[in-house]
Amino acid sequence: MASEISTEDEIVSGTVSVLLPLALPRPYDYKVPAGVQVRPGSYVIVPLGPQEVIGVVWGEGTGEVGHNRLRPVTEVLDVPPMPEVLRRFVDWVAGYTVSPPGSVLRLAIRAPGALEAPRMRTAYRLGAARPSRMTPARARAVEVAEDGFARTVRELAEEAGVSDGVVRGLVDAGALLPVDLPTEASFPEPRPDMPGVALSPEQAEAAGLLRGHVEARRFAAVLLDGVTGSGKTEVYFEAVAAALSRG
């Protein structure tokens, strides 16, 4: 199983225990290069055989391997560290399901692009310059852009009722200045208060039981018995909504 989780803000021993998202029974020790700062939960890139792997700092090094035999951390990723509560949950799930902690970690960090820098998109905001030739279409685009909001070429063209070419002409003339904006999320924020489907009496009874466990913040194993299409997922959604409402 994984080593004891560290709760310190910074690791100063010079070695760290890194859990890798592989079917491994425990974290591996690595040395921290001089001048590099890590903390429990830091996402790091470390060597493993001939390849490099993203892992999570689980705590101080165990000292089971001599410092001179340890390989160094290659890179500390510039992303927020994994919270202690999530690291403890990984260890708990591994113990509860008798699974390697690394396999559970893989489930926790496998979202595509989650550890990559956010993709940027180019938008445009109205600058001080104005084109020497102002057509009615250009004037409409400028009028829309006067509110100061940054828009993509397509967004501004649609709001102004002009072609993309008109907007690009304003860009070429220096009237619209480029700004980088993060790409919008591919899914909306969850709304736990959003009304769901009407539950049957049996579903409502099961949903109430699950919500009770959530409200009590008490773990319980619950198995819903039902054929495919009977609405088990809707019942679980009720528990998920209750958990989201509690923050």
Average pLDDT score over the chain:
89
Within a domain: residue 6?
A: no
Pairing of strands 43-48, 51-60: antiparallel
132-179 pLDDT, tens per residue?
Answer: 899 999 999 999 999 999 999 999 999 999 999 999 999 999 999 999
CB 202 within 8 A of CB 170: no
Number of separate domains in the chain = 3
> How many Å is the maximal CA-CA distance in the chain?
75
Within a domain: residue 24?
A: yes
What is the distance between the alpha carbons of residues 18 and 38, in angstroms, rounded to a whole number? Answer: 11
Residue where a domain stops, chosen among 85, 109, 133:
109
What band does 67 get if pLDDT is binned at 50, 70 and 90?
confident
192-244 pLDDT, tens per residue?
Answer: 888 878 999 999 999 999 999 999 988 888 899 989 989 999 999 999 999 99
Q: In this structure, are 30 and 105 located in the same domain?
A: yes
What band does 187 get if pLDDT is binned at 50, 70 and 90?
low
- H/E stretch holding 124 reads strand 120-126
Residue where a domain stops, chosen among 77, 109, 141:
109
pTM score of the predicted model: 0.64
> Based on C-alpha coordinates, what's the Rg of the chain?
26
Query: Of 13 and 62, which is predicted with more confidence?
Result: 62
Q: Tokens 């425990």 — which residue? A: 26
